[in-house]
A = this chain, B = another copy of it.
Amino acid sequence: MRAKMQLYSGKEDVCFMEKIRIGIVGYGNIGRGVEQAVARNEDMELRAVFTRRAPESVSVKTEGVEVRRFDDMLSMKDEIDVMVLCGGSATDLPVIGPEVAANFNTIDSFDTHAKIPEYFANVDKAAKEGGNVSIISVGWDPGMFSLNRLYAEAILAQGSTYTFWGKGVSQGHSDAIRRIDGVKNAIQYTVPVEEAVNNVRSGSEPKLTTRDKHLRECYVVAEDGADRAAIEQAIKTMPNYFDEYDTTVTFVTEEELKANHSRMPHGGFVIRSGETGCEGNKHVIEYSLKLDSNPEFTASVLVCYARAAYRLSKAGENGAKSVFDVAPGMLSQKTAEELRAQML
């Protein structure tokens, strides 16, 4: 199924083209979310899924989509416009990010904040050599939250910015609990402290410690005969992960964990308040997300940036970019004229 569509170019001239052909690299929660998001955007089609598993063991929902081995990407070099990289930031993306960028336009959700400059440089080099566009660190944080921090700071030059996350599951913190002796399974929720959020919303620009901003709620399945008090103590005193927070630990059965804590909601707030003028007028800018499914929302952001990568590449650009470098109009299916007439 192909259809003609118009391209947003930021200019008056408009050209016609076929659907944007998407490849998914890695078919976990995010990869499956990207598949669903592509299905909801009529200017795109999913062409292939690349996996490290045996292709015949992977069944994708979309009809007619190829499932290929990870090391078989180059065979589809001319059939895919943008690869959406759905691997993890710890070990996967640092390797495959530059590797795939050498041959395809790419989008990823690299989220190890401290390593973004290094990752950007590596992807940039590969993408430039390959003549491709790679937009890194796309999602909601980094991603939409980053954009809102930037816009709000640019507008209110003097002020304070606060980011709150949750209520939602932190995979890293859940994993850290699972590594404790006697723990069979665990889920950890990051919870913003309502009093702190309200305080920030009032425009008072409070000084907040780590403990003031978030609580950590842990639901833990202990192994039979494990020392629960010791587990609770080990969690609450764990450096970096829990020691700077008020943490609650609730022991549950495996069945309870599955029944009540297997969904993936998340969300959060970026709030900036600041002053203008000479009479101390206060302003509060807030961006908030309330998400039923963290991976599906992240995937939806990835997919609209895939549209932008495609357009930037068609316009002759190359190299690594972040969300800060992409004009908002590039994300929309609408033309520049439609956007001005309908959305401005």
Contacts and interface: CB of A to CB of B under 8 A. Distances in A.
A270 to B, nearest CB: 10
A300 interface: yes
Contact of A341 (B11, B117, B282): B117
B293 A36 contact: no
Given A149-B343, A276-B40, A341-B116, A154 B331 contact: yes
B283 A155 contact: no
A118 B124 CA distance: 40
Contacts of A304: 154-155
Contacts of A339: 150, 322, 324
A340 B327 contact: no
B289 A283 contact: yes
Contact of A283 (B41, B113, B281, B297): B297
B343 A301 contact: no
Interface in A14-54: 33, 36-37, 40-41
Nearest to A12: B124
A259 interface: no
Contacts of A341: 116-117
A157 B284 CA distance: 28
Nearest to A324: B329
A151 B331 contact: yes
A282 B299 CA distance: 14
A276 B299 contact: yes
Contact of A276 (B284, B290, B297): B297
A96 to B, nearest CB: 20
Contact of A146 (B12, B292, B327, B343): B343
Interface in A166-203: 201, 203
A248 interface: no
B157 A40 contact: yes
B291 A283 contact: yes
Contacts of A337: 117
A156 interface: yes
A195 B244 CA distance: 39
Contacts of A158: 40
B332 A300 contact: no
Interface in A302-327: 304, 307, 319, 321-327
7 contacts: A113-B344, A116-B340, A147-B328, A150-B329, A157-B300, A285-B287, A325-B336
Given A33-B276, A283-B290, 4 more contacts: A11-B319, A142-B344, A281-B291, A285-B289
Interface of A: 10-12, 33, 36-37, 40-41, 61, 113, 116-117, 120, 124, 137, 142, 144, 146-151, 153-158, 201, 203, 276-278, 281-293, 296-297, 299-301, 304, 307, 319, 321-329, 331-333, 336-337, 339-341, 343-344
